[in-house]
Amino acid sequence: MQGFYKMEYTGNAGQGVGSLAFVNGYIAGVDVAGGVYEGQYQTLPDGVVTGYADLSFPKGGMLVTGVVVAASAPPMRISFSIEEDGAVGQVIRIQTPTGPVNLRLTKLSALGALPK
């Protein structure tokens, strides 16, 4: 899963884009609405990638699920479990604490990892 990805996502109240880096078990990223993502992941022997991303909005904003987040709000933890082989280029449904989000990841760089 290691790499740098473009993410495109939709919810019941909007859509957005951003980027995520998966490097050595860590996740970092940003989106166009001002969201900042930090988290961790692991790839299990069966190819399932599990982890979480804590989403914060330093300046506040509205999520694609329609929820308004105050600037002082604590980060929202988004846990995930996805099939590594089926994740890239496909629409994945992620259940967030504020509702479902459809996510598509497009790998832009392997960041030095050997391609699979």
pLDDT of residue 85: 80
Domains and CATH numbers, the chain: 3-109 (2.40.128)
Between CA 78 and CA 109 the distance in angstroms is 24
- Bigger pLDDT: 87 or 58? 58
Q: For 63-88, how does the pLDDT look when each residue is reduced to its tens digit (9 = 90+)?
A: 999 999 999 899 999 999 998 887 78
CB atoms within 10 A of CB 66: 12
- φ and ψ at residue 24, rounded to 5 degrees: 50, 45
pLDDT at 116 over 60: no
At residue 11, what is the residue type?
A: G
- 3-state secondary structure at position 72: coil
What would the mean pLDDT of 17-35 be, rounded to a whole number?
A: 97
Per-residue exposure over 69-88, b if at least 16 CB sit within 10 Å of its own CB, e if not: beeeeebbebebebeeeebb
